[in-house]
Amino acid sequence: MAIFRVYKETGNFVTVHKNFIHDNKISWKAKGILLYLLSRPDDWQVYETELVKHTSDGLSSLKSGIKELEGIGYIRRTRKRDDKGRLKEYEYSVFEHPTHMRLSNVGKSNVGNSNIGKTYVGESNTTNNNSTYNDSTNNDSNKNNSSSKQQSPFDFYQSNGFGVLKPYISDQIGAWIDDFEQNGNEIVIEAMKESLNNNVYKWNYVNSILKSWFNDGIRSVDDISARNNKRSKQEEIADEDNPYLKYMNS
């Protein structure tokens, strides 16, 4: 379950700074998502699959909007860990002003500093940062356009016999997409295909494949192909060294 940690003015009514409403670097979809998140209380816990029930947009559209807000700096995402250091769900910090825009005004780095419990409503200087934000937005748009040409991992999961896309599975899929970065969508789908090839229709099996690939340094579909080719050659060598196989073929 993801926690959306909202930083805004306190009160018994919804009040947000109008800065982002006039920010032409984000889409109307992103503005709507941001407004909705800012209207929620701090420590609000919700699944993304629950969020889509409050809009006509689908899960992929919601995720792309959140990704857009991350790229600009309105949302910051941090991966949580348990007491044993194992990765858990993401915690989202939602801001009324882009975080790195605000930091550029004071010339300070946020490394090592905690922003929890603080509200940011000051003026923002956009003069020196327009090109940076535009590049970030364009890069995200290119990624979204390329990924939209193929089926999303969420749709692939539901249309290939894995069953109902439960909230915790959706969160794990999203986490893997982020961990594999720009090739996340393709790699997660390839893991599902690998599972189907082995006649296994369980997410736990797909998850184990992704863990193995990530630990082996897989970061692209080409890496997967190279890995499979290497394993095939190793199996061929092992077969040649097996003294019993020649009797099977005779």
Task: Look at 149 and 38; give whichever has higher pLDDT.
Answer: 38
- Is the model's pLDDT at 122 over the cut of 90? no
Question: What pLDDT, on the 0 to 100 scale, is given for residue 239?
Answer: 60
Residue 238: the pLDDT is 67
Confidence of residue 213 (pLDDT cuts 50, 70, 90): very high
Name which residue leads in pLDDT, 213 or 130: 213
The answer, as to whether pTM is greater than 0.75, is no
- Give me the mean pLDDT over the 75-85 stretch: 79
Mean pLDDT, range 166-182, rounded to an integer: 84
Task: Select the more confidently predicted residue: 78 or 1.
Answer: 78
Check residues 197 and 175 and name the one with the higher pLDDT: 197
The pLDDT value given to residue 32: 94
Distance CA 154, CA 60 (A): 8
Please determine, for residue 53, whether its predicted confidence score (pLDDT) is greater than 70.
Answer: yes
Q: What is the mean pLDDT of residues 118-138?
A: 34
Q: How confident is the model at residue 167 (pLDDT cuts 50, 70, 90)?
A: confident
Average pLDDT over residues 53-68: 87
Query: Mean pLDDT for the chain?
Result: 74
Residue 158 has pLDDT above 80, yes or no: yes
More confident residue, 46 or 75: 75
* pLDDT of 147: 40
